[in-house]
Amino acid sequence: MRTVRILFLIGIVTAFVPLPVSAQRYDNVIDRTVAVVGAEMIQLSELEAEAQMMQVQGYVSEKNLRCMILEQMLESKIYLTQAKEDSLTVNAEMVEANLEERISRAMKQLGGQEEVEKYFGKKLHRLRQEWRDVLNEQGLVQEMQRTIAGNVSELTPKQVKEFYRTIPKDSLPVVSTQYQISQIAVYPDKKKAEMAVKERLLDFRERILNGEKFSVLASLYSEDPSNSMRGGELGMMSKTIYWPQFSDAAMSLKVGQVSPIVETPDGFHLIQMIEKDGDMFNARHLLLQLHYGEEDRKAGFAKLDSIKNVMIEDSLTFFDAARFFSQDPATRTNGGVLSDPHTGSALFEKDQLKPEDYKVLRNMKIGDISEPFESSDNEGRNGNTMYKIIKFDKEIPSHTADIEQDLQLLSDMAVMRAREKAISDFLDEKIKSAYIVIDPMFAGCEFHRKEWLK
């Protein structure tokens, strides 16, 4: 294996005034190559563009920002070189989606296209192409990292136990108190609530068509607090950040036109188009959500009380009652047991439970069945109203992770560490053999990997 070759480029940057690097801006500096990794180059303009983008996103670092970005770029070039050698590819649709998200975020932070172009000193079409190139590279880098990590197989219970024996005990995580609960849930009459909302929106639409200002009605009645004070105006954004139903309806409108009622997981909307530009638009919307009154609540509670009575009188188990009576499809088939939709675990820490559920649970004992109360499911952004009773199935007190109770947690931890080591070892090995050149303006950087500057 050949010796590490990390050289410093020779020369003085034109009009460069030495400053602490964290405070430097290179706006008036002639663009140049500041680092080379194999056949890949890093331009000063690329580094500055990433620093600007991170600042737009509100990134604050006590460390030297540009030194940190440069090291990330150096690492990325190592991965990128290998990704190209291995002929890895990225999902073009995912790149475009991430590009639109980046543009929308910049516009939201800076106040529109004109301000974005002013801040970055470039027209949007040029920024779009530059950011697309950056995101393509990032996609290849991530694909390479996934490939390296993917070579680490799942561990056997024996290997996990060996990991548990060798890891310092003060490195073991503390597992918070965990709870298992089951539920029987019923929903209020959604059709009745929908009819009431649609009648209100149809009335608003007629008033707008008869001359009332959309912005005034949105300010008075919209239930979207993020923009109701602006007359429901959303600002110029990419269509990709909205629910498909919303963006499709909006993009079909002409400027000034008002949509029919549009349903999304957030509720029911009226939309008025203000401006369109390609895949971006600015519109106003008036949002109403479904609401349920005391009558709905009483009906739901009465139904749940009847179910509790059936369990008592007919010696029906909670498990069987949930399978027979519960209206929640996510829990009904497994006897009402709640589980995390992402991990499948039936154990929840306090902060993972809905606040209204934990408020009831904290006053219960194991085996207790609660009185009916109001809660919500996991559909949409805020969930749908439901009424339910819960059974306190199990509690595992807070403890330091151990092999008997937390085998899966320790297995995940062991695999994660093995994958992190594989990625780190890959970088170390490639740095040893890579041709690396770094500009002397970064000689004062304190990189995480000292090998960059050896």
Q: Are 262 and 214 in contact (CB under 8 A)?
A: no
- Report the CATH number that the domain containing residue 247 is assigned in CATH: 3.10.50.40
Q: Is the residue at 165 inside a domain?
A: no
Q: What is the DSSP string of 207-272?
A: HHHTT--HHHHHHHH---TTTGGGTTB--SEEGGGS-HHHHHHHHTSPTT-B---EEETTEEEEEE
Q: Quick one: 350 and 255 in the same domain? A: no
Report the SS3 class of residue 54.
helix
Q: Quick one: 272 and 316 in the same domain? A: no
Q: In the listed set 288, 318, 352, which residue is the last one of a domain according to the structure?
A: 288
pTM: 0.64
Q: What is the pLDDT of residue 120?
A: 86
Tokens of 318: 């909670």
Q: Quick one: 130 and 9 in the same domain? A: yes
Long-range contacts of 160-169 (CB under 8 A, 24+ apart): 160/403, 160/407, 160/410, 160/411, 160/414, 161/403, 163/410, 163/413, 163/414, 163/417, 164/402, 164/403, 164/410, 169/400
Q: What is the pLDDT of residue 96?
A: 86
Q: Quick one: 143 and 9 in the same domain? A: yes
Q: Is the residue at 406 inside a domain?
A: no
Q: Is the residue at 171 inside a domain?
A: no
Q: Are 375 and 181 in contact (CB under 8 A)?
A: no
Q: In the listed set 288, 309, 337, which residue is the last one of a domain according to the structure?
A: 288
Q: Are 356 and 348 in contact (CB under 8 A)?
A: no
Q: Quick one: 184 and 330 in the same domain? A: yes
Report the SS3 class of residue 453.
helix
Q: Quick one: 109 and 53 in the same domain? A: yes
Domain that holds residue 318: 177-188+292-397
| Structural domains counted in the chain | 3
Q: Count of H helices and E strands in the chain?
A: 14, 14
Tokens of 306: 């009847």
Q: Is the residue at 218 inside a domain?
A: yes
Q: Is the residue at 226 inside a domain?
A: yes
Q: Are 44 and 34 in contact (CB under 8 A)?
A: yes
The tokens 């093995």 sit on which residue? 418
Q: Is the residue at 230 inside a domain?
A: yes
Query: Which are the contacts of 51, defined by CB distance < 8 A and separation ≥ 6?
Result: 65, 66, 69
- Tell me the three-class secondary structure of 284-336, residue by residue: EEEEECCCCCHHHHHHHHHHHHHHHHHHHHCCCCHHHHHHHHCCCHHHHCCCC
Q: Is the residue at 408 inside a domain?
A: no
Q: Are 11 and 443 in contact (CB under 8 A)?
A: no
Q: Quick one: 275 and 306 in the same domain? A: no
Q: How far are the Cα atoms of 48, 54, 55, 84, 138 from residue 61, in angstroms, in the given order?
A: 15, 10, 10, 32, 21
Single-letter amino acid, residue 183: Q
Q: Quick one: 319 and 374 in the same domain? A: yes
Q: What is the pLDDT of residue 110?
A: 83
Q: Quick one: 49 and 87 in the same domain? A: yes
Is the torsion defined by CA of 253, 259, 260, 263 positive or negative? positive
Q: Is the residue at 403 inside a domain?
A: no
- Walk along the chain (454 residues) in steps of 10 and give the mean pLDDT of each run: 37 31 45 89 88 76 79 92 92 86 84 86 88 91 92 86 90 93 95 94 96 95 88 87 93 95 94 90 94 93 95 91 94 93 87 94 96 89 89 95 89 91 92 90 87 78
Phi-psi region of 367 (alpha: psi -120 to 50; beta: other; left: phi over 0): left
Nearest to 182 by CA among 349, 342, 326: 326
Q: What is the pLDDT of residue 60?
A: 64
The strand pair at 399-400 and 5-8 is best described as: unpaired
Q: What is the pLDDT of residue 106?
A: 85
Query: For residues 54, 55, 57 and 61, what is the CA-based torsion angle, rounded to 10 degrees?
Result: 80
Q: What is the pLDDT of residue 229?
A: 85
Query: Which are the contacts of 298, defined by CB distance < 8 A and separation ≥ 6?
Result: none
Residues present in the chain in total: 454
- Report the CATH number that the domain containing residue 47 is assigned in CATH: 1.10.4030
